[in-house]
Structure 1
């Protein structure tokens, strides 16, 4: 991507290594040399230039740490970033190419500036993913894109806008939840511009459908959308099949990342996410004990960034629960495969069963079609077993038998998740379900009446109120 201001020696080295990575010619000695050289550079970079890391890594033999001995280093947490703010940075903000922030919905907004090296090494993986996705689907021509990001202070719009321009794809930046745009205008532009690809959060796939029905559109007849590229929260195969039942469009993950950690993984034609491996040393740890399982396995994802930009993070606990494997993907792209099953904090305990967001969503939507949204309400039961009510909103007039949908959904939840649930239809879901990953999947989808609302639930309520007022 943008490489005009990148040091030519680094640019050439990275480009050569990336080319070998993409064609699959790298062997373990080459990986070890890259990892250890980049790791040593990053460790000395942060220890010399970041006020936080000077303290955090004080007294450690940084030259003795290799990619095989990362456990000698302490973790970096989200609380560290919120507390230290600009002290995490390795350079003043004035030296950044662009400035972003986290949303601050669950704590202080943390600064996330990027310099040219950060943008170049992160966005090039997004560009390659989109190039392959569009070539497989549209051949030599480029589709019209509708970009629907969460905030102007997010990297989303810049990243995908520049990718679209470099690929020669027309695009329009539509923020339907912005008070100056709104869903009505966003839908009009999608219709008039014949947008074929919508890039945004999974919740928008349903929110757009619900708004389109409200404004009198026919989802299949009035729009040309045939692909949703999603990011920002979990998107299970069952969710994707439901979106297809509404729009007649496929849904694929295109990016897994964060403001703090950049483009961690990018999507492929098989609907899987490939780690941007040259940029990171990944670890999977037990989220409770903190014990590292190494570079593969199931647990919380920890990342050490290998690019010495303005804000590299060392052993950063992402808070995301993942499954990371070295399995080869049928699409032919390299890189470990990342399956994101939800945030660690989004796990839900129901009647003693600890359930991941992906488990609940997959069981709930497995055979449901025409669903415009769902919410899971949990109440304490008199016998100690929790009472679960699932509320589904379906597309008006959808062909499936509603009674069968309700009974089959309740059966699946009992069989797969050991949850006894009552499932009901509604024509007006709680507006909080539209907040999606703006706060968290749990805050949007779970209404837990067993305890008082936590700070995330309250933040989601505030976001929902703004959503209602602006739309």
Structure 2
């Protein structure tokens, strides 16, 4: 590997096939654990310099943004000479962030624009090949664990227009030799009834979707008369929002034959950041990124492990590499365990910085709140946390839960949930069992976890909440 890593220019002008040939060797060595720490460090150092030259040569925004920085002196160990790139930068600069005209890309995507201006996120051949490689390796191992030598039929339940979901997973399933079917229930051409019919008729064993859709699909199946134990789904691969271990365990009590595993963690802007293992952990695509963890309030760098806001520097000189990009995501990064089924540091996503919520005497991350609600819970088809001012001062929390009475003990569940939240927050808590939840709870990743799961009556709704409410009717499921 050392000879390979020393072979190329740092100017980013290698022919595409030369780059991809070299990248495949690095990727294969990374995933079969033959890439040494020193070789990975050399690859990252050279790619960092390559990308910095690439963006300052080709991106009008970065040419100005990095003006005055001696980019040849910047190292992966110390990126602090480089300024952060923020979402506000991307919205203000738009196409000027790109390292080349859109016509050089293979396909054009953009962010959904639910809480701000939609920003362009085109992808070129390098971006697609290097990002998809991590997903393909993750899925190959997951499928081997659950299905042995055969390939399952995969149901893709996500948007495709202007969004990478459909194209990424179409390419990955094709590369693995698996059949896929695009059956997003929220599409007007599909709907829940047709999606369920196709799952049954085609023997769909793997469903790729947002976590909230695992429960929405179950609720729709029960409404249309299906026996969840007889449907063929065995594996949910989830993405797009937080998915705690408590949420995953609850889904397995609703779908008796199925387990939940993370598909990937990523974004339109930053591509595939980490991929899922059968342990339920996400592992960083280390050849493609330099991660930093910072204090979300001060911007102080905490290192490349620990807990805080994730900052990424992308190491592939594609159409839109981002430098020290503040993702707005709160993460916990730890070294991979010795026996981990995937290499790369473990990335635990605990929520969005903007989704932290003050409840009683606590300030909770989304993952903390969801874990407290769902710890040990069985048969929950959905939940919503409603917060209001309590009479006499303080906060009053009402947790509304849709529970399958044949699986859950409603009284015992309500008592346990209320007790955990009282201990965590010091607030007044009550739990209401309700089969007719607010449809906004099913919007999930369309806007944000908080907009879907928390209704805060202590203040006026923000833009995210208003955006979720505007589309909530599309997610309603008849009880």
- Which of the residues 130, 135, 139 maps onto 1:126? 135
What SS does the corresponding residue of 2:283 show, helix, strand or coil? Answer: strand
1:320 paired residue number: 329
1:453 aligns with 2:461: yes
What SS does the corresponding residue of 1:90 show, helix, strand or coil? Answer: coil
2:6 paired residue number: none
1:57 aligns with 2:91: no
In 2, distance between residues paired with 1:400 and 1:174?
30
Structure 1 151/431 Cα, relative in aligned 2: closer, same or farther at 3 Å? farther
What SS does the corresponding residue of 1:392 show, helix, strand or coil? Answer: strand
1:303 paired residue number: 312
Structure 1 203/366 Cα, relative in aligned 2: closer, same or farther at 3 Å? same
What SS does the corresponding residue of 1:293 show, helix, strand or coil? Answer: strand
1:341 aligns with 2:345: no
In 2, distance between residues paired with 1:122 and 1:399?
40
What SS does the corresponding residue of 1:196 show, helix, strand or coil? Answer: strand
- Structure 2 unaligned spans of 5+: 1-13
2:410 paired residue number: 402
Q: What is the CA-CA distance between 1:240 and the residue it aligns to?
A: 0.7
In 2, distance between residues paired with 1:188 and 1:25?
45
Contact preservation (8 Å) 1:177, 1:470: no
What SS does the corresponding residue of 2:107 show, helix, strand or coil? Answer: coil
1:224-252 residue CA offsets vs partner (Å, 9 max, x unmatched): 00110101111111111111011111000
Structure 1 109/470 Cα, relative in aligned 2: closer, same or farther at 3 Å? farther
1:236 paired residue number: 244
In 1, distance between residues paired with 2:130 and 2:79?
22
Contact preservation (8 Å) 1:182, 1:470: no
1:390 paired residue number: 399
Q: What is the CA-CA distance between 1:44 and the residue it aligns to?
A: 1.0
In 1, distance between residues paired with 2:361 and 2:184?
40
What SS does the corresponding residue of 2:303 show, helix, strand or coil? Answer: coil
1:160-206 residue CA offsets vs partner (Å, 9 max, x unmatched): 11111111111101111011211111111111111111001000001
Paired residues, number: 465
Q: What is the CA-CA distance between 1:455 and the residue it aligns to?
A: 0.5
1:100 paired residue number: 109
Q: TM-score, normalised by structure 2?
A: 0.94
In 1, distance between residues paired with 2:425 and 2:52?
43
Contact preservation (8 Å) 1:252, 1:271: yes
Q: What is the CA-CA distance between 1:81 and the residue it aligns to?
A: 0.8
Q: What is the CA-CA distance between 1:54 and the residue it aligns to?
A: 1.1
In 2, distance between residues paired with 1:234 and 1:362?
11
1:426 aligns with 2:434: yes
Contact preservation (8 Å) 1:380, 1:386: yes
Structure 1 20/375 Cα, relative in aligned 2: closer, same or farther at 3 Å? same
1:380 paired residue number: 389
1:431-464 residue CA offsets vs partner (Å, 9 max, x unmatched): 1001001100000000000000000000010121
In 2, distance between residues paired with 1:310 and 1:359?
37
In 2, distance between residues paired with 1:32 and 1:75?
22
CA RMSD of aligned residues (A): 1.7
1:463 paired residue number: 471
What SS does the corresponding residue of 1:372 show, helix, strand or coil? Answer: strand
- Structure 1 unaligned spans of 5+: none
Structure 1 177/110 Cα, relative in aligned 2: closer, same or farther at 3 Å? same
Contact preservation (8 Å) 2:442, 2:476: no
In 1, distance between residues paired with 2:291 and 2:340?
22
In 1, distance between residues paired with 2:376 and 2:15?
50
Structure 1 371/6 Cα, relative in aligned 2: closer, same or farther at 3 Å? farther
Q: TM-score, normalised by structure 1?
A: 0.96
- Which of the residues 255, 270, 280 maps onto 1:247? 255
Q: What is the CA-CA distance between 1:416 and the residue it aligns to?
A: 3.7
Structure 1 390/469 Cα, relative in aligned 2: closer, same or farther at 3 Å? closer
Q: What is the CA-CA distance between 1:331 and the residue it aligns to?
A: 3.3
2:5 paired residue number: none
Q: What is the CA-CA distance between 1:389 and the residue it aligns to?
A: 0.3
1:440 paired residue number: 448
1:331 paired residue number: 340
Contact preservation (8 Å) 1:150, 1:438: no
Q: What is the CA-CA distance between 1:385 and the residue it aligns to?
A: 1.2
1:23 paired residue number: 32
Structure 1 86/379 Cα, relative in aligned 2: closer, same or farther at 3 Å? same
Structure 1 468/6 Cα, relative in aligned 2: closer, same or farther at 3 Å? farther
2:7 paired residue number: none
In 2, distance between residues paired with 1:372 and 1:224?
19
